[in-house]
Amino acid sequence: MKTILNIKTDKEVKEGAQGVAREMGVPLSTIVNAYLKEFIRTREIRLVAPPKMTPHLEKVITAAKRDYKKKKNISPVFSRAQNAIAYLHSK
């Protein structure tokens, strides 16, 4: 037996989800049903925010990019692990 579920969501969210579902070749209702079934089975809600870099990590990456452009602090390429280990011990 089927029933209708009415939910409120932003228009952009609905249209975006419909577009992705269409690209995947499935109706949006199939995706919603899959999520609801998983919620019932696992009794979990997963909310994921995109990872955000810490200010420290941003500084480290910026410095690494700068070094790479200057060809500074870059190790050579190794074909054998023993050569890489020897290089590390030499520094």
Please write the tens of the pLDDT for every residue from 31-52. Answer: 999 999 999 999 999 888 788 8
Residues 14 and 3: their CA atoms lie apart, in Å, by 20
Residue 77: predicted pLDDT: 92
Q: What is the CATH number of domain 1-48?
A: 1.10.1220
**Residues carrying CATH 1.10.1220, the chain:** 1-48
What pTM value is reported for the model?
0.51
The residue among 48 and 78 whose pLDDT is bigger is: 78
* Block residue for tokens 């089975």: 41
Mean pLDDT of 59-85: 93
Reported confidence tier of residue 83, pLDDT bands at 50, 70, 90: very high
Q: Which of 61, 3, 63, 69 minimizes the C-alpha distance to 32?
A: 3
Residue 23: predicted pLDDT: 95
Residue 52: predicted pLDDT: 85
Looking at every residue in the chain, the average pLDDT score rounds to 93
Cα–Cα separations (whole angstroms), residue 90 to 9, 63, 72, 75, 82: 60, 23, 17, 12, 12
Residue 17: predicted pLDDT: 95
Residues 31 and 5: their CA atoms lie apart, in Å, by 13
